[in-house]
Amino acid sequence: MAIGLTHYLILAAAMFLVGMVGVATRRNSLIMLMSIEIMLCGVNVVFAAYSRVHGDLSGHVFVLMNFAVAAAEAAIGLAILVEIYRLRRTVNVDELKTLME
């Protein structure tokens, strides 16, 4: 069976779900940030696949925007994590519940 749009969409959905499960189950906030990157990567595959189906390169431009957003998200998220670590000496989200108490 030739590789078509469906294969790429299934791959992207699987990547997104892996990222989702990672965010939901892991308690180490570094790995939660990595799971968000996995989800963004799945979305990029969808953009590129539809771009090829329509023969229009606009999808590639959107993937570029996604790259920039992912970079900004990683930079800010990691800066916040470093700051939290300085204050609390942990990156485990289970122990960061000051607002809850």
Partner 1 sequence: METFLFYLFAGLMLGSAVMTISSRSAVSAAVWLIFSFVNAAGVFALLAAPFLAILQILIYAGAIMVLFLFVIMMLQGPVLPAERERRSLWKILLLGAPAAAIAVTLISWLSQSGLTAFAVAAPETAGTAERVAELLLNRYLLAFELISIVLLVAIIGALALGRKEEDLPWQ
Sites of contact with partner 1 (CB under 8 A): 1-11, 13-15, 17-22, 24-28, 30-31, 33-35, 37-38, 41, 44-45, 48-49, 51-53, 55-58, 60-61, 63-65, 67-72, 74-76, 78-83, 85, 89, 91-92, 94
Residue 25, helix vs strand vs coil: helix
Nearer to partner 1, 24 or 99 (CB): 24
Nearer to partner 1, 69 or 99 (CB): 69
State the nearest-atom distance from the C-beta of 14 to partner 1, in Å. 6
For every residue of 32-86, DSSP letters joined together read HHHHHHHHHHHHHHHHHHHHHHHT-THHHHHHHHHHHHHHHHHHHHHHHHHHHHH
> How far, in Å, CA of 43 to CA of 6, rounded?
14
State the nearest-atom distance from the C-beta of 80 to partner 1, in Å. 6
CB 26 within 8 A of CB 32: yes
Tally of residues, the chain: 101
State the nearest-atom distance from the C-beta of 42 to partner 1, in Å. 9
